[in-house]
Structure 1
Amino acid sequence: MGKNIKTKPSYNQEILKIIKNKYGYSDDYIRKSIRGDRVGHISDMIKVEYNKLNNESKKAIETKAEQLKDQKP
């Protein structure tokens, strides 16, 4: 018998803190909203904002990585 292994998604903790401070909801509610387990207007806003902030943070990291790659010691 094979085991059914599921991996838990990891969320950017800094973005979770920002959203928690802005909306005042618990980390659990925010994670469930992002995952789609919660429905409603606020949950949709949280999901959109998380995705937007996460994409921006990834872009910033990629930009910085490119800058560091271009610099030669």
Structure 2
Amino acid sequence: MNKNIKTKPSYNQEILKILKNKYGYSYDYIRKSIRGDRSGEISEKIKYEYNKLVSESRKAIEIQVSKL
């Protein structure tokens, strides 16, 4: 008997805090916006900004790693 194991996506908690402070929405709404469960202008902005901040943080980490 095989069980299907679904994993939940892991979101950057620091970026979620930034978006929560900026927009004032709950973490649940922000996660649903990123996932695409919510539609609208604000949800699209949240999704865009989250993805932009994640890519910028990865670049910053890569730069710091290359300096070591």
Above 0.5 in TM-score?
yes
Q: Percent identity?
A: 76
Between structure 1 and structure 2, the one with the greater Rg is: 1
Structure 2 residue matching 1:29: 3-state secondary structure: helix
Alignment RMSD (CA, Å): 0.6
Normalising by structure 1, report the TM-score: 0.90
Normalising by structure 2, report the TM-score: 0.96
Instruction: Provide Cα deviations, 1:23-54, integer angstroms capped at 9, x if missing partner.
Output: 00000000000011111111000000000000
Give unmatched runs, 5+ long, in structure 1.
69-73
How many residues end up aligned between the 2 structures?
68
- Name segments (4+ residues, structure 1) moved above 4 Å: none
CA distance in 2 between partners of 1:34 and 1:49 (Å): 9
Give unmatched runs, 5+ long, in structure 2.
none
